[in-house]
Amino acid sequence: MKVAIMGAGLSGLSCAIMLERNGITPTIFEKRSRTGDRFVNGEAFMSFLTKPIDDVVRYLAEEFQLYIQPVSPINRLSFHSENENAIIDAQTGFINIRGRHRLSLENQLTDQLQTDIQFHASKSYESMLREYTHVILAPGDASYAEKLRNFTEKLSVSLKGAIVEGEFDNDHVRVWLNNDIAPNGYAYLLPLSSSKANLVMAYPDAVSASKEQTEKQWALLLNSACAQVNQHLHVTDQFQITNYKIGLCHAPRIGNTFFTGNCFGAIMPFLGFGQFESILTGIYAAYDICGYGKYEDYTRPLRKSFHDSFILRRGMETLNNDAFNFIVKQLDGRIGERLFSTDRNIVRAGSFLLRPFVWMK
Ligand SMILES: Cc1cc2nc3c(=O)[nH]c(=O)nc-3n(C[C@H](O)[C@H](O)[C@H](O)COP(=O)(O)OP(=O)(O)OC[C@H]3O[C@@H](n4cnc5c(N)ncnc54)[C@H](O)[C@@H]3O)c2cc1C
């Protein structure tokens, strides 16, 4: 058996680790010069998105002996709408770092791998098919799934963000639900340390904004962030991503080709989270190759989550600032704490309630 992995990101590395532990040495191709060779950013694991799995760090360790060390738990979540603020004090997830940082998730996974990675690799899928018995497509986007007519795009989003310097509580994440700042989307301030944080706005490309409008929204977000943390935030290292595709592959496996991570459809449409799902698809592809079960069966719950998450996203897009004000007001205090601490999967419950309205639209 000869396995090729295209992409040394979350899903590719997780797959490689599991294959290696089962006696299969894959060949890993990474187009960049080292793992995580891109801008540094903070990302989150939110437990309300992964219920009934409450603690993904513990779950990955106990179920798969895959060890990740977040930079901080999230113990406080603040929501800001146009006129309301809510504070939720509950353990709601974890913050981790991605990209060119020694503690980035991709570097942590690389440390758990014995096999050498082939960097600066530009091997095509077609040549992999000829030379290997199994191919894992883990390039972090849907391009190959699309080329093989195996992907339905549901929406695409833009993300504009920066590292901001100031003084932060490491465990406090702030979220903006305000259409003046992120139309039909959201914005967040996610600390990477006590002196650096990520300030990001994410919104669907369908709400096409001119460059001037985007700059105005960014200025509004920065002002609001400065006001909320009561200090001047110094902006460094800006980034912008457009046309970040969110969708789902039709077949998770075609022949001996496995679609993993974002190439599978790991990004959940509601808030664009996909780290945990990407890691799982990598593990599941390896388990299939090792003969433990079928990739299609393992990934079925992720497909269901994708559809639930998509309905919630469509529901969110109908909300105006008055609705956001109402929601944020309700979230403040005990109601929010109970909602974020419940064992129920609120994405599933929310999509069940919203389904008739979204279908009618
Ligand atoms: C700005 C931003 C913020 C996000 N925030 C969150 C968040 O807070 N929480 C969350 O859960 N998710 C978040 N996500 C989504 C999450 O990062 C992705 O779902 C996840 O990283 C996808 O993993 P992957 O394995 O598919 O790809 P990646 O981890 O991106 O890895 C893909 C790798 O493949 C390599 N590659 C690409 N093409 C080739 C090729 N042809 N040959 C060889 N190598 C190749 C790339 O260089 C890269 O190293 C965010 C995404 C973005 C962009």
Domain layout of the chain by residue ranges: 3-360
pLDDT of residue 349: 75
Q: Report the nearest-CA residue for atom 14 of ligand 1.
A: 273
- According to DSSP, the residues that pair with 152 across neighbouring strands are 248
What residue type is 113 in one-letter code?
L
Residue 11 CA to ligand 1 center (angstroms) comes to 8
In SS3 terms, 143-159 reads as HHHHHCCCEEEEEEEEE
The residue assigned the tokens 């058996």 is: 1
Q: Report the nearest-CA residue for atom 27 of ligand 1.
A: 140
Pocket test for ligand 1, best of 53, 108, 205, 275 (most atoms within 8 A of CB): 275
Vertex 308, ends 306 and 311: CA angle to 5°? 110
**Are residues 40 and 98 in contact, defined by beta-carbon separation less than 8 angstroms?**
yes
> Containing H/E element for 187?
strand 186-191
What gap in Å lies between CA 183 and CA 317, rounded to an integer?
A: 8
pLDDT of residue 347: 79
Residue 56 CA to ligand 1 center (angstroms) comes to 18
pLDDT of residue 345: 81
pLDDT of residue 343: 79
pLDDT of residue 353: 74
pLDDT of residue 123: 93
Residue 98 CA to ligand 1 center (angstroms) comes to 9
Vertex 150, ends 149 and 152: CA angle to 5°? 95
Residue 74 CA to ligand 1 center (angstroms) comes to 22
pLDDT of residue 15: 98
Q: Report the nearest-CA residue for atom 29 of ligand 1.
A: 9
In SS3 terms, the chain reads as CCEEEECCCHHHHHHHHHHHHCCCCCEEECCCCCCCCCCCEEEEEEHHHHCCCCCHHHHHHHHHCCCCCCCEEEEEEEEECCCCEEEEEEEEEEEEEECCCCCCHHHHHHHCCCCCEECCCCCCHHHHHHHCCEEEECCCCCHHHHHCCCEEEEEEEEEEEEEEECCCCCCEEEEECCCCCCCCCEEEEEECCCCEEEEEEEEECCCCCCHHHHHHHHHHHHHHHHHHHCCCCEEEEEEEEEEEEEEEECCCEECCEEECHHHCCCCECCCCECHHHHHHHHHHHHHHHCCCCCHHHHHHHHHHHHHHHHHHHHHHCCCCHHHHHHHHHHHCCHHHHHHHHCCCCHHHHHHHHHHHHHHHC
pLDDT of residue 358: 65
Question: In the CATH scheme, what is the code of domain 3-360?
Answer: 3.50.50.60
Contacts for 324 with CB less than 8 Å, ≥ 6 apart: 81, 82, 84, 177, 178, 179
Chain-centroid distance, C-alpha 160: 15
pLDDT of residue 336: 83
Tens digit of pLDDT at every position of the chain (361 positions): 999 999 999 999 999 999 999 999 999 999 999 999 999 999 999 998 998 899 999 999 999 999 999 999 999 999 999 999 999 999 999 999 999 999 999 999 999 999 999 999 989 999 999 999 999 999 999 999 999 999 999 999 999 999 999 999 999 999 999 999 999 999 999 999 999 999 999 999 977 678 899 999 999 999 999 999 999 999 999 999 999 999 999 999 999 999 999 999 999 999 999 999 999 999 999 999 999 999 999 999 999 999 999 999 998 888 899 999 999 999 887 888 888 888 778 777 777 777 776 665 5
* Cis amide bond preceding 52, omega within 30: yes
What residue ranges line ligand 1, CB within 6 angstroms?
6-12, 29-32, 41, 43-44, 121, 138-140, 159, 241, 244, 261-262, 266-267, 272-276, 278
